[in-house]
């Protein structure tokens, strides 16, 4: 396919599922991190 280690790739801005196994999206790790922080704060409040 012409893709090798070191190739620069970008994902679409939309959330996608690759091969029915992987979830990808722009800044997905940041969004999940924000969710985790919010959940921890919610649980600590209890």
Higher pLDDT, 36 or 7: 36
Q: Is the dihedral of CA 17, 19, 32, 35 positive or negative?
A: positive
pLDDT band at 27 (very low <50, low <70, confident <90, very high): confident
DSSP-assigned letter for residue 21: T
Domains in the chain: boundaries: 1-46
pLDDT above 90 covers a percentage of the chain that reads 41
Is residue 28 pLDDT above 70, yes or no?
yes
Alpha-helical segments (H) within 1-46: 28-45
Model pTM greater than 0.85? no
- For residue 13, pLDDT over 80 is answered with no
């Amino acid at each position: 396919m012409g893709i090798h280690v070191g190739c620069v790739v970008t994902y679409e801005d939309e959330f996608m599922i690759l091969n029915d196994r992987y979830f990808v999206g722009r800044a997905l790790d940041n969004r999940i991190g924000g969710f985790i922080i919010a959940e921890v704060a919610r649980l600590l409040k209890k």
